[in-house]
Amino acid sequence: MTKNKDSVVFIGKKPFMNYVTGVVMQFNSGVKEVTVKARGKYISRAVDVAEVVRKRFVQDTDIKEIKIDSEEFQGDDGKNVRISTIEILLSK
Amino acid sequence: MTKNKDSVVFIGKKPFMNYVTGVVMQFNSGVKEVTVKARGKYISRAVDVAEVVRKRFVQDTDIKEIKIDSEEFQGDDGKNVRISTIEILLSK
């Protein structure tokens, strides 16, 4: 399956409904799969976005796959910092 | 497969390493599967716990399944409140 590059929504600190609307608009434009991605503390929010989309806005949406991972890098203080990531693949 | 009731770790506000140790101890006691569960803002933390366990402590651990869901209930002010949940099934 070809993955449309546009069908990724990164979750950050903007108002919550911006992200919900972003995902809904992708689906309305004809995209069949949208990936909701987030890092660190925004992971909880990514789950909220996916749930609100699928339960309130696009009701024939399935959660096709969920991946979690983590990246380790050196922080400003020289210590290793680990940050977790999530990818939630929503499919219509 | 019989699911051991003890092999669930709920993530909350205790110190982070408590949960990591909890999961590691389950595996060390011979359990083959541990489910890390969380709700709301603790979801990010649940992902962190799963990642630290599998990358730093129990390196032959796989993420077997991740489920997200949400519950809706009436809050104190009469409004509907939605809270998201996650279940991460770690398998050794």
- Rounded to the nearest integer, the mean pLDDT of chain A is 92
Interval B21-49: pLDDT, tens: 999 999 999 999 999 999 999 999 999 99
CA distance A55 to A63: 11
Copy the structure tokens of residue A54: 């699928």
A1 lies in a domain?
no
Nearest by CB to residue B52, choosing from A48, A51, A82, is A82
A8 contacts A42 by C-beta, under 8 angstroms: no
> How many beta-carbon pairs below 8 A join chains A and B?
57
Answer yes or no: is pLDDT of B4 > 60. Answer: no
Pair B55, B20: CB distance under 8 Å: no
The token duo for A53 is 């989309």
Residue B3 maps to a domain: no
- Tens digit of pLDDT for each residue in B43-53? 999 999 999 99
Q: Into how many domains does chain B fold? A: 1
Of B63, B67, B70, the CB nearest to A68: B63
Whole-prediction pTM? 0.90
Give the DSSP per-residue string, A1-48.
-PPPTT-EEE--SS-HHHHHHHHHHHHHTT-SEEEEEEEGGGHHHHHH
- Which CATH number do you get for residue B35? 3.30.110.20
Asked if residue B2 is part of any domain, the answer here is: no
Q: Which of the 8 DSSP states describes residue B18?
A: H
- Tell me how far apart the alpha carbons of residues A18 and A29 are, in angstroms, rounded to a whole number: 16
Kindly determine whether residue B44 and residue A84, on different chains, have CB atoms separated by under 8 Å: yes
A44 touches chain B (CB under 8 A): yes
